[in-house]
Amino acid sequence: MALTRGFSGRSRGTHDTRLPPGQYDAGANWPVLHVESTPSIDTARWTFEVDGLVDSPARWTWDEIRALPASRYEGAIHCVTTWSKFGMRFDGVSVDTLLDIAGVGADAAFAVARSHTGYTTNLPLDDLTGGKAWVVWDVDGKPLDDIHGGPARLLVPHLYFWKSAKWVSGLTLLAEDRPGFWERNGYHDHGDPWLEQRYQGD
């Protein structure tokens, strides 16, 4: 569309090829955007469940999930509000490990992640498997703050960050896509930052 009169941009000559289109580097800041009031969730009562089209629904307590094989993600995250953040280190468990325990049903093709706050977000199952998704509780070596989704959040770093549900409480595997909270409010069902899939229709 139209060029913007007088705009040349700031990042001339130093454009970072790690940045997906339309994103900027937030640097040391970690912006916060969620619409619920920030909950405070007691790990003594925290649980995580995998259900829906699985061989046997599975449920973990805080101690049980942390006893599973550890898995780490190091790299970038990208928020649909246009910030990206590099050099993040998250520790938790791979979603592959959780799905292996529950056993993925033959018809499962999509998932809805849910939170202790009632938030939901939908993802294709392929985006949760193959080493691309985690349930994480530490960031840069420290426990995840409430405001960033602690005690544990979903982490799907190759998609826009609203897919990485804060305060995550479970995954339901489905045969068909079922839009979650933001997706029903106009955001994209897939959310690939490199394709700028921000809103429905992108």
Partner 1 sequence: MTAVDRGTAPHPGPWQTARVTGIRRETPTAKSFTLTLSEPRAFWPGQHMIVRLTAPDGYRAQRSYSIASAPSESAELDLTVELLPDGEVSSFLHDAVEVGDVLDVRGPIGGHFAWDLRPALGVAGGSGIVPLMSMLRRARALGEPDLFRLVASVRGPEDLYYATEVGGPQTSIVFTRTVPDGYARPPGRLTAPDLAAALDTDRELYVCGSTAFCDAATRLAVAAGVPTERIRVERFGVTG
Which positions touch partner 1 (CB under 8 A)?
A: 1-12, 15, 21-22, 24, 26, 28-38, 81-82, 145, 147-148, 181-182, 184-186, 199-201
Q: Give dist(CA 120, CA 29) in Å, integer.
A: 26
Cα 154–111–64 angle (5° rounding)?
45
Q: Measured from the CB atom, is 148 or 158 closer to partner 1?
A: 148
Q: Measured from the CB atom, is 29 or 56 closer to partner 1?
A: 29
Q: Give dist(CA 188, CA 192) in Å, integer.
A: 9
Q: How far does CA 6 lie from the centroid of its chain?
A: 37
Count Cα atoms within 13 angstroms, Cβ side, for 68.
Answer: 24
Shortest reach from residue 146's CB to partner 1, in Å:
9
List the beta bridge partners of residue 75.
Answer: 88
Shortest reach from residue 61's CB to partner 1, in Å:
25
Shortest reach from residue 87's CB to partner 1, in Å:
15
Shortest reach from residue 117's CB to partner 1, in Å:
9
Give the pair of three-digit tokens for residue 185.
């409010």
Rg (CA), the chain: 17
Q: Measured from the CB atom, is 33 or 70 closer to partner 1?
A: 33
Q: Measured from the CB atom, is 9 or 69 closer to partner 1?
A: 9
